[in-house]
Amino acid sequence: MIRITCLGGAGSVTGSCYLVESPHSKKILVDCGLFQGGRQMESRNLEEWGFDPGEIQTLFLTHAHVDHSGRIPKLVKDGFKGKIITSPPTAELCEIMLLDAAHIQEMDAEWQTRKNKRQAKRDITPLYTTEDAEASLKLLSPMERDNIVTVEPGMKARLRNAGHILGSSILELWVEEGEETLKIVFSGDLGRKDQLIVRDPHEIFDADYLFVESTYGNRLHRDVEGSKKELIDAIQYSVSLGEKIIIPAFAVERTQEILYILGEFLRDGLIPDIPVYLDSPLAIKATEIFRRNKKYYDEEARAIVDSGYDPFGMPNLRFTSTTKESMAINERPGSAIIIAGSGMCTAGRIKHHLKHNLWREGASLVIVGFQAKGTTGRKIVDGAKQVKIFRENVAVRAKVFTIGGFSAHADQGDLLEWVSHFESNPKVFVVHGEATASEALSEKIQERLNLIAHIPKWKERLILKPKEVVVEKLPAGEEVTDMKTPMINTIIDLENELKALRKRIKSGEVDKMIGEDEVDRLKYIQDELKSVFIS
Ligand SMILES: [Zn+2]
């Protein structure tokens, strides 16, 4: 009997955390995210864990976003000394994300303490400190995706590409249960098909139990091409009037996607060569990590690198790390594109740029990410005529462009398609979504895919027992015994190679290289393929 307790990311989109317990192996955790969005939700960060952090041997981290990683320093502060297994890019991103999260916790506590002092109330200690974050980083144990590893006796695991942000992973977990082995898959956050920079989510075919995210379980995204056109319109509008284009963006992935798209526009001559400022120390550091991790790019991003360009670079791009450089941006007249955080306009340097530009007719505010209720960004999107910035009322005269097509999350269609690849009829747990989103996805999974789906509540305990028919077993002692999945995965890789090859041939770029030899080589490969099961 395996027990999974949903300690976060159940009935909500934040705080992801699942405790896996089995009689034969130690306790493990999958993700340890921060609860975000309102005081009530955030108060969950202060609650007891419901287990002893010192007893946890292994924490699997699907990706670096703080709603999946942001409580790790608290776990360490409370006694966790085990390994944090995650992909190498996630480990790199965690270094900047967790230190930044600790800094925010410290600043918040300091601000709250100052406020309390005036009311003769007690001091506030931060949820965790920079020291706790630094101690967490020492426990990171990066593991390349696609390899099966024995985590401890009776438990094996493998990370797969989730296509959501750089380094994001799906977790496959095999847990021995008496004579049987149960396979549990955690989707983590899944990206959408053809998303920029990262490869498409890995398709998985077998699991006994599947935990699938449902952030956009009730939504279909707008297409990327339409969104790109809207962004060009926004830039051209403000350039024609000599004003600035302000883009609030999240530091990891969205910022790099925007840089990627702007680079593409510029190379294709679709926008004029105006200054572009990346005005966020965190986003600058994240972009450097993206630049270092080329081997995780998808084919299109690789092609840009191969043709000698930096996918996140432009001749007129300036990284403004210091406050002085940041302030100088608004002193320069004329058009410019300014990308700054926070993504929902609630904190950070974006507030200065809004104060300088929001009231200017001809300026553009381009919203490219999710805006939660109650945030300044949401108020503007909802049509507020003025908003409060640094305690000052600022009129909204800039043109607001809300562009919804740049999501890094699979939508309902993508999620259903991903789940449909499972051939083993897994029992599905729909997690990581607001109630309406999880319910919509759960219904569709049951109706369309004929699978049993359940939406666990926060703190709900799930008992997983071996089914009568176990699709696959991993005999003990061998590292890779599950050969059906690697076989199917190799076929998928082959299909992708063929698709890429067909694309190159059709485009005409290899015309001069096609001869009799090349055709013969392909025919030889075809014969070899046919002979795989002939002995
Ligand atoms: Zn995420």
The answer on pLDDT for 44 being more than 70 is yes
Residue with more model confidence, 104 or 166 = 166
pTM higher than 0.95: no
Q: Across the chain, what does the average pLDDT equal?
A: 91
**Average pLDDT value for residue range 137-147:** 97
Residues 6+ apart with CB under 8 A from 7: 15, 17, 18, 19, 49, 50, 458, 459
d(CA 297, CA 303): 9
Q: How does DSSP assign 243-285, residue by residue?
A: --EEEE--TTTHHHHHHHHHHHHHHTT-S----EEE--HHHHH
477 CA → ligand 1 middle, Å: 34
Report, as an integer, the average pLDDT of 405-420: 93
Residue 206 Cα to ligand 1 midpoint, Å, equals: 24
- Please tell me whether the peptide bond between 22 and the residue prior to it is cis, using omega within 30 degrees of 0: no
Residue 226: both structure tokens together: 């339409």
Distance from the alpha carbon of residue 401 to the mean position of ligand 1, in angstroms? 24
Pairing assessment for the beta strands 427-431 and 453-454 based on DSSP bridges:
parallel
**pLDDT score of 474 more than 70:** no
pLDDT digits (tens, 9 = 90+) for 229-287: 999 999 999 999 999 999 999 999 999 999 999 999 999 999 999 999 999 999 999 99
Q: How far is the CA of 395 from the centre of ligand 1 (A)?
A: 33
Q: Is the pLDDT of residue 401 over 80?
A: yes
The alpha carbon of 66 and the centre of ligand 1 are apart by a number of angstroms equal to 8
Structure tokens at 496: 């992708």
Tokens linked to 245: 């284009």
In this predicted structure, what is the pLDDT of residue 535?
A: 60
Mean pLDDT within 1-22 = 91
Distance 128 CA to ligand 1 centre (A): 21
Residue range 481-513, pLDDT digits in tens: 456 666 776 787 788 788 888 888 988 888 888
What distance in angstroms lies between residue 14's CA and the mean position of ligand 1's atoms? Answer: 9
In DSSP notation, 7-73 reads EESSSSSS--EEEEE-SSS-EEEE--PPP-SSHHHHGGGGS--SS-GGGEEEEE---SSHHHHTTHH
Cα(189) to centroid of ligand 1, in Å?
A: 5
Query: What's the pLDDT at 468?
Result: 36
63 CA distance to ligand 1 middle (Å):
7
